[in-house]
Chain A
Amino acid sequence: MRDRGQTKLAFIYLVCILLTIITLFPIYWMVIISLRSKLEIFAGPKLYQTSIFADNYYRPLFKDIYGKFLINSLIIATGNTGLVILLAIFATYAFSRFKIWGSGSLFFWTITNRMAPPAAFILPFFLIFTKIRLIDTHIGLILLYCIFNLPFAIWLLKGMIDVIPKELDEVAAIDGCSILGTIWHVILPVAKPGLAVTAMMIWIFSWNEYLFASIMTSMKARTITTGLAEFVTVIGTNWGEMAAVSVVCLLPAVIFLGYIQRYIITGLTFGAVKE
Chain B
Amino acid sequence: MRSSQYKAWGLLTPTLCILFFIGLVPFLYVVYLSLFKYNIFSVQGMVFTGVDNFRKLMFDSDFMHSLRIGVTFVVITCVVEMFLGLAIALFLTNEFVGKGVFRTVLALPLAVAPITIGSIWVLMTNPDVGPLPYLLDKIGVNYNIGVNARQAFFTIVIMDIWHWTPFVTLTLLAGITGFPREPFEAARVDGASRLQTLRYLTLPLLTPVILTMLFIRIMDTFRIFDEVWMLTSGGPGTATRCVSIHVVRLILTSTDYGYGSGMSVFLLYLTIVMCWLLLNIISVVRRETRER
Contact = CB atoms under 8 A, between A and B. Distances in A.
A123 B105 contact: no
B5 interface: yes
A23 B105 contact: yes
A13 B96 contact: yes
Interface in B162-218: 162, 166-167, 170-171, 174-175, 177-178, 209, 212-213, 216
A231 B229 CA distance: 13
B77 interface: no
Interface stretch (B47-55, B56-64, B107-115): B107-115
Highest count of chain A CB atoms <10 Å: which of B21, B33, B94, B120: B120
B104 interface: yes
Contacts of A20: 102, 105
Interface in B117-167: 118-124, 126, 128-131, 134, 162, 166-167
A229 B115 contact: yes
Contacts of B36: none
Contacts of B257: 123, 127
B120 A97 contact: no
Highest count of chain A CB atoms <10 Å: which of B30, B130, B260: B30
B27 interface: yes
A265 B174 contact: yes
A228 B116 contact: yes
A1 interface: no
A127 B25 CA distance: 12
A9 B96 contact: yes
Interface string B1-44: 00011011101101100110111011101100100000000000
A269 B216 contact: yes
B219 interface: yes
Contacts of A48: none
B83 interface: no
Contact of A26 (B115, B128, B162): B162
B120 A30 contact: yes
Interface stretch (A54-62, A64-72, A144-152, A189-197): A144-152
B108 A45 contact: no
Given A30-B119, A113-B23, A273-B174, A15 B91 contact: yes
A239 B108 contact: no
B134 A45 contact: yes
B116 A119 contact: no
A96 B23 CA distance: 23
B128 A146 contact: no
B222 interface: yes
Interface of A: 8-9, 12-13, 15-16, 19-20, 22-24, 26-27, 29-30, 33, 41-42, 44-45, 47, 87-88, 90-91, 93-95, 97-98, 100, 111-125, 127-128, 143-144, 146-147, 150-151, 154, 179, 204, 207-208, 210-211, 225, 228-229, 231-232, 237, 239, 242-243, 246, 249-250, 253-254, 256-258, 260-261, 264-265, 268-269, 272-275
28 contacts: A8-B94, A24-B108, A26-B120, A26-B121, A27-B112, A45-B130, A47-B131, A117-B247, A117-B271, A118-B225, A119-B267, A123-B261, A128-B26, A128-B29, A150-B18, A179-B7, A228-B230, A229-B229, A239-B129, A243-B119, A250-B112, A254-B108, A257-B111, A264-B110, A269-B171, A273-B171, A273-B175, A275-B174
Given A144-B22, A261-B103, 12 more contacts: A26-B121, A115-B271, A120-B264, A121-B26, A147-B22, A150-B18, A204-B111, A229-B230, A242-B122, A246-B120, A261-B107, A273-B209
